[in-house]
Chains A and B, each alone.
Chain A
Amino acid sequence: MSASPVYLDAATAAPMHPVARQALLAAFDDGWADPGKLYSQARRARQLLDAAREATALTLGVRADEVSFTPSGTTAAHGAVLGGLAGRRRVGSTLVHSAIEHSAVLHASERHVAAGGTATGVPVDRVGRLDVTAWSAAVRAPGVALAALITASHEVGTVQPVAEAAAVCAEAGVPLYVDAAQSVGRVPLPAGWSVLSASAHKWGGPPGVGVLAVRKGTRWESPWPADEREGGRTPGVVNLPAVVAAAASLRAAAADAAAEAARLAPLVDRIRARVAADVPDVEVVGDPVLRLPHLVTFSCLYVDGEALLHALDRRGFAVSSGSSCTSSTLRPSHVLEAMGVLSHGNVRVSLHRETTEADVERFLGELPGIVAELRADAGVVGL
């Protein structure tokens, strides 16, 4: 018999907010028509789409016409990178990015490099914080078209010095793209960016909705075949019911964000302290202070990450891992690699609005025994 489930992987996908579910169901009735057409059903759909865009823009602190809805956060990230590079190809062909960007950003970068462009990765320190000196040198080099910095690490939670990085970009005249997937709907957004991407299922919206925001005056050019929808920034008809649900849940999440951060951050602190105290030979990674309120990562020496995930799953705990044995490519997380921290036996725990103190206590109560059992099975106790 399996234990009652405790879902601790909100950084991958947060459970859908009740507001999202209500909005989704209502929009299925009301928002199925193509908002681009000239009849009453379409006008109703257009109203819903416009309202969703207004609400999202308000939360992001931008103008409505600067916001486009994409088919996923990944598509938004791809568009942000490739469009930002395309818009400034006369200036240069170099993308500067941190070493800890999301794989969607790195994959777009690889595409750019394969097409003849160049990319400069900027290192981070042991806690996963951007090396601002190296960033400054990279951004100031000739021929930089775009700079990309994640607002906070999706793997270890370290908040990045976006304001400092943005000031360097502004001085050099280089637009800054921020992947804000882990920040939107949870923490205040930094200032100084030109392009932003986010993903609805990270804040409690439905999967399959991304947000791409491009500030006025930014030289950004769509990398996709021409399409007039969504400001010409992403092709195809939007999944309107999902977009409506995404916008409704974002508004709800943003309204509760400060209170949720105040509730979850002490639970994350508790996990950091108790894991370090109760599990021998464990490395809790990421900045202990300058971090996201909902996410914590640690690595257990001599433990197989995949075995650990399966053992936790059997006890009802859903978590994520950056260990190579849990990835389809069998490579360790590039984020842990860039930080120079242990990559095996890695666990990422991420909390959400339904996570209770009791859930966290149960996890903390069971984890030491699970790790000890795996170490005993592997014959590595006392090494």
Chain B
Amino acid sequence: MPDEVIDCRGQRCPLPVIAAARRLPQLPVGTVVRVLADDPAAAVDLPAWCRMRGQEFLGSVKGPDGPAYDIRRRH
């Protein structure tokens, strides 16, 4: 289970990525954040951001709240 959920539903690209980029560094290393984002670009851009920033993309989840993406702070 994620330690924290960021709700970006209704936000267009690149806002979900910006939200993740703002929040993740404020949390301890190892924290898992779930980003709720219904913009289809989030499925591409959140893994790409993790790769560019050296953070860990754990995968996507389809739940009752729509598409969600789990990210772990690695450094």
Binding site for B on A (CB under 8 A): 281, 283, 301-305, 323-325, 330-332, 336-337, 340-345, 378, 380, 383
Contact = CB atoms under 8 A, between A and B. Distances in A.
Given A283-B48, A301-B52, A332 B21 contact: no
A383 B21 contact: yes
Q: List the 8 closest pairs (A to B, CB-CB), nearest first.
A: A344-B14, A342-B48, A332-B41, A324-B41, A383-B21, A344-B13, A343-B44, A337-B44
A344 B41 contact: yes
A323 B18 contact: no
Contacts of A337: 43-44
B48 A343 contact: yes
Given A341-B48, A383-B18, 19 more contacts: A301-B49, A301-B52, A323-B13, A324-B13, A325-B12, A325-B13, A330-B39, A331-B41, A337-B43, A340-B47, A340-B51, A342-B44, A342-B48, A344-B13, A344-B17, A344-B41, A380-B18, A383-B21, A383-B22
B63 interface: no
A343 B13 contact: yes
Interface SS of chain B: helix
B45 interface: yes
Contacts of A281: 52
A342 B18 contact: no
Contact of B21 (A302, A341, A343): A302
Contacts of B51: 340
B12 to A, nearest CB: 6
Contacts of B43: 337
Contact of A342 (B12, B21, B22, B52): B52
Contacts of B49: 301, 342
A324 B42 CA distance: 10
B40 interface: yes
Nearest to A126: B51
Contact of B14 (A283, A302, A331): A302
Contacts of A344: 13-14, 17, 41, 45
6 contacts: A302-B14, A304-B12, A323-B13, A341-B44, A343-B13, A383-B18
Contacts of B17: 301-302, 344
Contacts of B12: 304, 324-325, 330
Contacts, number: 67
Nearest to A305: B13
Interface of B: 12-14, 17-18, 21-22, 39-41, 43-45, 47-49, 51-52
Contacts of B41: 323-325, 331-332, 343-344
Contacts of A342: 44-45, 48-49, 52
Nearest to B25: A383
A343 B48 CA distance: 9
B44 A332 contact: yes
Most A-side CB within 10 Å, residue of B21, B41, B47, B49? B41
Contacts of B21: 302, 380, 383
Contacts of A345: 14
B69 to A, nearest CB: 14
A306 to B, nearest CB: 9
B75 to A, nearest CB: 15
Nearest to B40: A331
Nearest to B20: A383
B14 A336 contact: no
B13 A332 contact: yes
B26 to A, nearest CB: 12
B18 A343 contact: no
A283 B52 contact: yes
A90 B48 CA distance: 43
A344 B41 CA distance: 8
Nearest to A334: B44
Contacts of A330: 12, 39-40
Contacts of A341: 44, 48
Contacts of A324: 12-13, 39-41
A378 B40 CA distance: 21
A325 B13 CA distance: 7
Nearest to A383: B21
Contact of B18 (A325, A332, A340, A378): A378
